[in-house]
Structure 1
Amino acid sequence: MSVNISVIKKAAVSFTGKADHLKDLHVFTDSRKNTEQGLFVPIAGERFDGHQFLTKAIEAGAVATLWMKGKLLPEGVPADFPIFYVEDTLDAMQTMAKLVLKERKPKVIAVTGSNGKTTTKDIIESVVSTKYKTHKTIGNFNNHIGMPLTILASPADCEAIILEMGMNHFGEISLLSRIAEPDIAVITNIGESHIEFLGSREGIAKAKMEIVDGMKPGGMLIIDGDEPLLRSFHFDEIQKATCGYGDDNGLKIGDVKAHIKGYTFTINGEDMIYHIPLLGRHNVKNAAYALAVAKCMNIDEQTAQKGFDQLQVTGMRLETVKGRKDTMLINDSYNASPTSMAAAIETIKALPDYKRRVVVLGDMYELGPDEENLHRQVAQVVTDPITDLITIGPKAKWIADEAGKNHSQLFSIHTFDEKIQAVPLIESLLGKETVILIKASRAAQLESLVEQLEA
């Protein structure tokens, strides 16, 4: 869809604060959200058309709007209300975001992957912010609408922007990359998320690798060097750094030690010992990606560690919560795939000093026709010292069924159709020597269990 660039530039110039007219606009697409000095971008979707809500957007603080040509203006819009007519409002907003990046010239760091991209984004931001004015994706604003909004919300003096890129289908990461034009890109791993739409892990790797489509020549691609599906890709105009445990990685992780409040590790056998205040051994590799970014950004080792020390990650990702009776709750309910679920289970198995280790697992979605087998595979890691397995939902029941075939003597297994049914049992297990993991796909909304069990 073509865009009138001159019109968008007028809006972009006003947005960047280089003109007095409509200075310091805040771009928003939700007419229900109060936004001071707002530029309203109505999006025409399958179920709703934002153009219908312009008057509500004005009430919420809109002082200008993009508007699709041919759409009738609703009654009640002031005659002097600024309207930027465009062929397509979404396309126009994406173009605006691209123009803002060109105007401000921050270092653009893009992060994608099947698992861990949000936590990796947070770790990178904590490290990069030790030296640069940074801005990052908040929440789940990681798609073709959310990412442009993230860019347009960045401050004028932003020196580095960390953008999470999510996807369900082929072509989606490519679009985001071409909007953002990353200087540095990170692919955390290849799992099974969205395999329903992408067909195979090979398809997932191909879709994730679209992140290079818009990269600046000479940019740096940082990948999981232990994943053959990622190492098989080669590019002439892009540099590549590998992180992992194998000897052939550019950043080789070693000397990993678990502690009650995180992990210590080294890189390439050097004397510097890093510490991350995060549960989950997989987060060591996520931290290695941040160190690779730090190297690109001329951030030294000690400064990078200061970034780790100030780390604050997005909630519901191996988030430790104090439960009733001094129980340790681990809330990992934001999302799930077989890979991330297995990693979370391994995390509580590695924690010291707990006599009772309970895993509460819910359904995983978007796994395609092989979903039963992928659920059953999780049972392979539900082993000693796990003491209790509780599943919630019809898909998670496959995990319990498989675990019961081989490990029924080692721990108790309980299945429930609804989460409310599981509450009495879980409450009976609370205690200061108990750790409870709660993990499922986002649609299961198991975080409500955490709220019920909190101190």
Structure 2
Amino acid sequence: MKFTTKWMAAYFPEYKGAADTEIPIHHIYTDTRQKTDRGLFVPLEGETFDGHSFLKSAINNGAVAAFWNKEKPIPEFVPTDFPLFLVDDTLIALQQLAHTFRTEINPKVIGVTGSNGKTTTKDFIASVLSQNYKTHKTKGNFNNHIGLPLTILSMDQTTEVLVLEMGMNHFGEIERLSFISEPDVAVITNIGESHIENLGSREGIAQAKTEILAGLKSNGKVIIDGDEPLLAPLHTREGVLSCGFDEKNKFVLSDCKMDDTGTRFTINQNINYMIQVPGNHNVKNASFAIIIGELLNMNQEHIQEGLSSIELTGMRLERITGKYGTTILNDAYNASPTSMKASIDVVKELPNFSRKILVLGDIFELGALSEMLHRSIADAISEPIDMVIAIGEEAPYIVEEMKKKELAIEAHSFKTKEEAVDILESTLSEETVILLKASRLMEFETLLEHLVEKE
């Protein structure tokens, strides 16, 4: 049980039905297609839908109470004792309920934002902290103004640490999430180019990401990518801990060594750790978790156990064995210029492969800067990369720029994924590693149908 309708009535005192009785609420949800046991239904409204229209379905599928916009008539089919909490806006009510529940349970809240690496960092943090604390984290990408409140409301009452991913598309969105969650620790993973179409510049993106400080507890800590110049103004702020490869940082990363088992690295020249995923960018993601573990009085052994037992959300440098023993790195969940370059660097550094192939697709939401930023990807491409396959409307600019730079690397451009299949299948072998990287809407994971044996 999360709470009762009587508990809710203290915070939402305008209601119909038997809301002042002890009716237990086990789940809070917005989708009436899912069956639930003792659920609170939240009917959200959008441009093309109105959740209020589905109240009957919600009741039939297990709802025992609901929020209700007070401006809307109550349907005749609603039982007179069915609790309806009358509010001005059901979305705001959901967010208020989440904030109230967060305050009631009072776990340590870790908020994670940034242009790239949010989900991987969240997974590292949750895996490390779960070694010592009962930990709840954002599932999948439930990181917006709806998903974050639902994540808070899905935690168990005994939760000790809550790890929340915070995403955004526009100014003001992270600020709202920060006020809802009131983080004890805020993490800014980096500043890239994602959503630059909406935010105008990398400076605008940095401004939007630092909104996470708005709801930070008065004694809260902020952990930042200390190598990012746009976050430099935060270095002198009280409670800020910087992390990165530059020696000016409070936590300095060094001696990164990558092999088939993962990546080893050192913090502050005397503490050694290992992660089972490749790449310097993942070293930095893991270091945020290490720092938080230390803040919460964890020892090095337990922190390492958490790093080693991580279960990463899918399509983040996910290693898959394809046909003929080919190694495929499925990093196709999403992309920005920064994250694409980081993934290319990983492939370049991977040992024990005689053939390295990049399959790169369009990066969306770059606006007027799209051509320039796609062309900039070519700056990261060099030996030992053997082949580049660019797919989409914008990705071929990468190949154009490679030819302009006269790079001696085989390169091909295609408008569609289907056109690229034949040449891609011809490269498969045990000595080959293939990177799949593109924005989510490109759905690059469908290429796996041609690269992996059917079960």
Give the CA deviation at 1:57.
1.7
In structure 2, the residue matched to 1:40 is 41
Tell me how far apart the structure 2 counterparts of residues 69 and 277 of structure 1 sit (CA, whole Å): 52
What is the Cα deviation at residue 64 of structure 1? 1.2
Q: Is the 2:234–2:240 contact (alpha carbons within 8 Å) kept by the matching residues of 1?
A: no
CA distance in 2, matches of 1:355, 1:234: 43
Within 5 A, what are the aligned runs for 1:306-455?
306-408=305-407, 410-455=408-453
User: What is the CA–CA distance in structure 1 between the aligned matches of 2:275 and 2:8, rounded to whole Å?
Assistant: 47
Please report how far the alpha carbon of residue 380 of structure 1 lies from its aligned counterpart in structure 2 after TM superposition: 1.1
SS in 2 for 1:158: coil
SS at match of 1:205: helix
Per-residue Cα deviation, 1:161-183 (whole angstroms, up to 9, x for no partner) = 00000001110000000010000
- Say whether the 8 Å CA contact 1:280–1:318 is kept in structure 2: no
Distance 2:261 2:197 in 1: 36
Report how far residue 248 of structure 1 moved. 1.2
The CA distance in 1 between the partners of 2:9 and 2:415, in whole Å, is 52
Deviation sequence 1:18-52 (CA, Å, 0-9, x none):
x9823242000111222222111011112211111
**Partners in 2 of 1:8 and 1:248 — Cα distance?**
52
User: For residues 453 and 82 of structure 1, what CA distance do their matches in structure 2 show?
Assistant: 53
SS in 2 for 1:131: coil
Q: What CA deviation, in whole Å up to 9, does each residue of 1:261-307 have, x standing for no partner?
A: 2110111111x320001122200011111111112111111110011
* CA distance in 2 between partners of 1:377 and 1:229 (Å): 19
What is the CA–CA distance in structure 1 between the aligned matches of 2:343 and 2:8, rounded to whole Å? 49
Q: Could you tell me whether the CA contact under 8 Å between 1:8 and 1:92 is conserved in 2?
A: no
**C-alpha RMSD over aligned residues:** 1.8
Which deviations, in whole Å up to 9, do the C-alpha atoms of 1:106-132 show, x marking residues without a partner?
000000000001000000001111110
Query: Is the contact between residue 9 and residue 99 of structure 1 (CA under 8 Å) also seen in structure 2?
Result: no
Q: Say whether 1:253 aligns with 2:249.
A: no
Aligned partner of 1:219 in structure 2 is: 220
Q: List aligned pairs for 1:273-288, cutoff 5 A.
A: 273-288=272-287
Distance 2:236 2:218 in 1: 10
Structure 1 Cα separation of the partners of residues 273 and 115 of structure 2: 25
Letter in 1 for 2:368: P
- Paired residue for 1:16? none
Question: Is contact 1:134-1:162 (8 Å) kept?
Answer: yes
Would the aligned equivalents of 2:425 and 2:450 in 1 still touch at CA under 8 Å? no
Percentage of identical aligned residues: 51
What TM-score, normalized to structure 1?
0.94
Asked if 2 retains the 8 angstrom alpha-carbon contact of 1:8 and 1:96, the reply is no
Unaligned 5+ segments in structure 1 are 13-18
Q: Which residue of 2 aligns with 1:21?
A: 22
Q: Is the 8 A contact 2:235 2:242 kept in 1?
A: no
The alpha-carbon deviation at position 426 of structure 1 amounts to: 0.9
| Displacement of 1:437 | 0.4
The SS at the match of 1:108 is: strand
Distance 2:278 2:60 in 1: 45
Contact 1:331/1:437, CA 8 A, preserved across alignment: yes
**1:43 touches 1:50 (CA, 8 Å); kept in 2?**
yes
CA distance in 1 between partners of 2:246 and 2:313 (Å): 29
**SS in structure 2 at match of 1:254:** strand
Question: Which residues of 2 match residues 295-314 of structure 1 at below 5 A?
Answer: 295-314=294-313
Matched residue, 2:135: 134
Structure 1 residues 143-292: aligned runs within 5 Å:
143-233=144-234, 238-270=238-270, 272-292=271-291
Instruction: Report deviation, 1:324.
Output: 1.0
Once the 2 structures are TM-superposed, how far is the Cα of residue 79 of structure 1 from its aligned partner? 3.1
Separation (CA, whole Å) in 1 of partners of 2:249 and 2:403: 39
The equivalent of 2:17 in structure 1 is: none
- Equivalent position amino acid for 1:316 in 2: M
- Greater shift, 278-287 or 78-87, is seen at 78-87
Question: What residue is the counterpart of 2:292 in the other structure?
Answer: 293
* AA partner of residue 65 (structure 2): A
SS of the residue corresponding to residue 232 of structure 1 reads: helix
Identify which range, 254-263 or 184-193, moves more after superposition: 254-263
Once the two structures are TM-superposed, the CA of residue 406 in structure 1 deviates from its matched residue by 2.2
Task: Quote how far apart the aligned CAs of 1:8 are.
Answer: 5.5
User: Given residue 213 of structure 1, which amino acid in structure 2 is its aligned partner?
Assistant: A
**Could you give the per-residue CA deviations for residues 197-235 of structure 1, whole angstroms, max 9, x where no partner exists?**
111111111110000000110100000111121121367
CA deviation after TM superposition for structure 1 residue 146, in Å: 0.3
Q: What secondary structure does 1:292 align onto?
A: helix
CA distance in 2, matches of 1:406, 1:234: 38
Which amino acid is the alignment partner of residue 427 of structure 1? Answer: E
Q: Note if contact 2:179-2:215 (Cα within 8 Å) is conserved in structure 1.
A: yes
Distance between the aligned counterparts of 1:10 and 1:178, measured in 2? 17
Secondary structure of residue in 1 paired with 2:217: coil
CA apart distance, 1:98: 0.7
Q: Secondary structure at the match of 2:53?
A: helix
Greater Cα offset, 44-53 or 103-112? 44-53
1:342 and 1:381 in contact (8 A); partners too: yes
Q: How much does 1:71 deviate?
A: 1.0
Q: Distance in 2 between matches of 1:383 and 1:433?
A: 19
The 5 Å alignment of 1:78-89 reads 78-89=79-90
Q: How many residues align?
A: 442
| SS in structure 1 at match of 2:132 | coil
